[in-house]
Amino acid sequence: MMPFRVSAQTAWLTLADPLPLESGQVLPDVRVAFRTWGRLSAQGDNAVIVCHALTGSADADAWWSELFGAGKVLDPERDFIVCSNVLGGCYGTSGPTSLAPDGQRWGARFPDVTIRDQVRLQMRLADHLGIRSIRFVIGGSMGGLAALEWALMDAERVQAVVSIAASGRHSAWCMAWSEAQRLALQADPRFHRGQYLPSEPPVRGLAAARAAAMISYRSPVSLEGRFGRASAQEVFAEQTRAPDDLAVRDWLRHHGQALASRFDANSYLALLNAMDSHDLGRWRGVYENVLKRITQPVLIGSVISDALYVPAEQRTLAFLLPRGELFEIDSEHGHDGFLIDAAAFEPRVRRFVQRLPAAAPPLPMDVSRNAGRLRYAW
Identify the helix (H) or strand (E) that includes residue 119: helix 115-128
- Exposure of 13 by Cβ count < 10 A (0-12 exposed, 13-18 middle, 19+ buried)? buried
Catalytic-residue membership of 306? yes
Helices (H), 169-292: 172-186, 203-217, 220-226, 232-236, 247-260, 265-276, 287-291
- Core vs surface per residue 15-50: b (16+ CB within 10 A) or e: beeebebbeeeebeebbbbbbbbbbbbeebbbbbbb
DSSP string, 322-362: TTEEEEEE--SSGGGHHHHTHHHHHHHHHHHHHTSPPPPPB
Residue 15 Cα to chain centre, angstroms: 21
Spatial separation of the C-alpha atoms in residues 348 and 269, rounded to whole Å: 34
Long-range Cβ contact pairs of 69-72 (< 8 A, separation 24 or more):
71/350, 72/346, 72/350
Compute and round to an integer the Cα radius of gyration of the chain. 20
Annotated active-site residue in 41, 57, 94, 141: 141
Instruction: Please name which of 60, 240, 36 lies closest in space to residue 125, comparing C-alpha atoms.
Output: 36
Answer for the pair 260, 203: CB distance below 8 angstroms, yes or no: yes
Give whole-number Cα distances, 105 to 90, 139, 304, 341, 366, in Å: 12, 30, 42, 38, 35
Catalytic-residue membership of 276? no
Annotated active-site residue in 216, 306, 331, 333: 306
84: which residues sit within 8 A by CB, 6+ positions away? Answer: 32, 33, 34, 35, 58, 93, 121, 122, 125
Tell me which residues are annotated as active site: 141, 306, 335
